[in-house]
């Protein structure tokens, strides 16, 4: 399929720069047989008892670092751990970097470039113990908000709270599972009171989620790999809900990708721990996910391809045209959609 077939025009003023307060006041576009304009706190009324919401409980850590090499300023974003003290990272202005360069990020906090890879990626090793590294990142790092959210390094403090779900507890992501940002404690209580089940998986979202698709055809795109885990309790809860006639509602594309990775062709979900590089495009046969809650995505992105596979490209383009006309807010800090599977 041509990547250009997933393109659409988006006014830049619809790209949300700050989140809505409270979180569950975000608008929600329900995409089923027809379109319905709702708000996030309506969610319990859009689902049925025994449906199960599956959340991603990964936690974003402050993985963006600003340092110096000599007099040159260097900014890097860690995106995947290679070993105890070595990370894959993206470097802004990577042409100025060479193997062996030492970068200073703070007092007694240094990194050394072990290797230069393609597309601005490097391997960097830190000269500190693992526990100290996390402390140093919390001290000197900033939250890795996407590039379309305009921030200076110093303006990033509010994002430490805003760019994190209320149920985040397993550190390792360098991007938030943004559909989860719309939930509040009250909304979770209302969901449970309505007889809707909840379960949690972990997928550590990588910076690859922001990378543009550079190939002209989807067949030529290499999907990034991310680590995830579904434990036996979550697998049992999902299988039990399905057996009772409930729908599996994935909160975010990260949950969709891991659920589909772990599911059998029969629709049974198994416990899982490992990498996934699943690339879902139109023509994919979904095995377990019935509905998904997900924000509005970037044109020609792998995530817009995923929702197009779920509901149909024409339907999703029609829904996005409606959202643009009605001034919905787009991307990570924007509004959300509840999509019913129709493929």
- Shared domain check, 238 and 176: yes
Predicted structure pTM score: 0.94
Confidence of residue 130 (pLDDT cuts 50, 70, 90): low
- Shared domain check, 321 and 214: yes
Which of 331, 294, 311 shows the shortest CA–CA distance to 34? 311
Q: How far apart are CA 203 and CA 229, in angstroms?
A: 6
Which residue range forms the structural domain that includes residue 84?
Answer: 64-141
- Shared domain check, 294 and 220: yes
**Is residue 318 assigned to a domain?**
yes
CB 23 within 8 A of CB 183: yes
The predicted structure's pLDDT at residue 133: 87
- Shared domain check, 108 and 39: no
CB 25 within 8 A of CB 39: yes
**Is residue 146 assigned to a domain?**
no
| First-to-final CA distance of the chain | 17
| Number of domains into which the chain is organized | 2
Q: What's 121's domain CATH number?
A: 2.40.10.240
Q: What's 176's domain CATH number?
A: 3.40.1780.10
- Shared domain check, 176 and 49: yes
Confidence of residue 117 (pLDDT cuts 50, 70, 90): very high
**Is residue 156 assigned to a domain?**
no
Cα Dmax for the chain: 64
> Which tens digit of pLDDT belongs to each residue from 272-330?
999 999 999 999 999 999 999 999 999 999 999 999 999 999 999 999 999 999 999 99
> Which tens digit of pLDDT belongs to each residue from 36-50?
999 999 999 999 999
Q: How many CA atoms lie within 13 A of 94 on its CB side?
A: 17
- Shared domain check, 229 and 187: yes
Average pLDDT score over residue span 200-211: 87
**Is residue 230 assigned to a domain?**
yes
Residue 162 corresponds to which tokens in the numbers above?
């805003």
- Shared domain check, 105 and 50: no
DSSP-derived letter for residue 196 is: -
């Amino acid at each position: 399929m041509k990547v250009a077939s997933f393109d659409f025009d988006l006014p830049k003023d619809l790209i949300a720069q700050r989140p809505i307060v409270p979180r569950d006041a975000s608008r929600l576009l329900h995409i089923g047989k027809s379109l319905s304009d709702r708000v996030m706190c309506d969610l319990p009324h859009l689902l049925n008892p025994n449906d199960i919401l599956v959340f991603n409980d990964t936690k974003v850590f402050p993985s963006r670092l600003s340092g110096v090499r000599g007099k040159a300023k260097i900014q890097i974003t860690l995106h995947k751990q290679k070993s105890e003290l070595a990370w894959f990272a993206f470097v802004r202005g990577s042409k100025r970097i060479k193997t062996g360069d030492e970068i200073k990020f703070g007092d007694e906090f240094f990194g050394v470039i072990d290797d230069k890879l393609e597309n601005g990626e490097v391997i960097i090793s830190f000269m500190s113990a693992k526990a100290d590294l996390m402390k140093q990142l919390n001290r000197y790092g900033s939250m890795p908000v996407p590039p379309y959210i305009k921030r200076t390094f110093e303006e990033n403090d509010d994002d430490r709270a805003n760019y994190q779900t209320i149920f985040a507890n397993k550190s390792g992501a360098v991007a938030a599972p943004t559909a989860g940002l719309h939930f509040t404690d009250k909304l979770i209580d209302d969901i449970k009171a309505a007889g809707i089940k909840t379960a949690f998986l972990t997928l550590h979202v990588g910076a690859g989620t922001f990378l543009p698709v550079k190939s002209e055809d989807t067949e030529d795109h290499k999907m990034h790999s991310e680590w995830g885990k579904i434990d036996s309790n979550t697998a049992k809860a999902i299988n039990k809900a399905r057996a009772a006639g409930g729908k599996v509602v994935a909160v975010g594309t990260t949950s969709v990708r891991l659920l589909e990775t772990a599911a059998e062709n029969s629709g049974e979900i198994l416990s899982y721990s490992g990498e996934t590089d699943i690339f879902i495009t139109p023509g994919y046969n979904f095995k377990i996910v019935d509905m998904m809650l997900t924000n509005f995505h970037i044109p020609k992105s792998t995530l817009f391809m995923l929702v197009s596979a779920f509901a149909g490209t024409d339907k999703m383009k029609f829904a996005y045209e409606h959202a643009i006309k009605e001034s919905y807010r787009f991307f990570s800090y924007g509004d959300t959609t509840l999509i019913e599977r129709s493929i």
